[in-house]
Amino acid sequence: MPRRPSMKYRRVLLKVSGEALMGETDYGIDFNTVDRIASEVAEVQRLGVQVALVVGGGNIFRGVSGATRGMARASADYMGMLATVINALAVQHALEQKGVETRVQSAIPMSSVCEPYIRRRAIRHLEKGRVVIFAAGTGNPFFTTDTTAALRAAEMGCDALLKGTQVDGVYSADPKKDKAARRFDRLSYMDVLSNDLQVMDAAAISLARENKIPILVFSLQAERGFAKVLAGEGRFTIIIDD
């Protein structure tokens, strides 16, 4: 599939949190929001960029919150992994409604629902222009979907890891709560770690750093935000070594 010269990256991984799929609702999946995100992904895929996704499950169940209520952390995390499979299937449906060929691969085998995660097969799907959606985290408790995103980006040989959020980059504090929060255009991995900026967890940042994968943080709310970031336009924060 030919790649437009305007696109700065050949293969990318987009991390979408479960909370992003809720839209304006308090719980579950808002299908209008899923449809809008799918439109963004479909546009980028048609521009010739190979796209993989990691989807969180926090809109349905969060392992950490389950553990705080007395549930064993491992059991709570497995429940969270299953929630990501539900979200992945919702995103898959929305993409296929737009004519985008997709595959869902789960780190927890469930052959009646989706493919098992097999690295070489996933790479082959990307090479054929399919969007690959990675579900069930790493398949292990105690690892977040942020870490999964960094791990899969490294395994797929991605040129960049993108994190879609509700704000247009990385701030020194939550800009919705602190009007004096400072926005950053560019940070190093060590800036994020040493200042505890809460972009992604430390394991994810370290994985990206070790594999020299730039992290781009942008707003999923912005129209055509995904495509604009990949063209080097719009507002985003890039995290990369100095």
Task: Look at residue 24 in the predicted model and tell me its pLDDT.
Answer: 86
Q: Is 111 helix (H, G, I), strand (E, B) or coil?
A: coil
Residues 44-92: tens digit of each pLDDT: 999 999 999 999 999 998 767 776 678 899 999 999 999 999 999 999 9
Strand-strand pairing, 215-219 and 160-165: parallel
Task: Look at residue 5 in the predicted model and tell me its pLDDT.
Answer: 45
Quote the percentage of the chain above a pLDDT of 90.
80
Please state which CATH number belongs to domain 11-239: 3.40.1160.10
Residues 180-204: tens digit of each pLDDT: 999 999 999 999 999 999 899 999 9
Quote the percentage of the chain above a pLDDT of 70.
96
Domain segments of the chain: what residues?
11-239
Q: What's the mean pLDDT when you consider all of the chain?
A: 93
Q: Please indicate, yes or no, whether the overall pTM of this predicted structure exceeds 0.85.
A: yes
**Using 50, 70 and 90 to split pLDDT, how confident is the model at 3?**
very low
Strand-strand pairing, 11-16 and 183-184: unpaired
**d(C-alpha 197, C-alpha 107), whole Å:** 29
Counting DSSP H helices and E strands in the chain, the numbers are 8, 11
Beta bridge mates, 50: 11
Indicate if the pLDDT at residue 207 is higher than 80.
Answer: yes
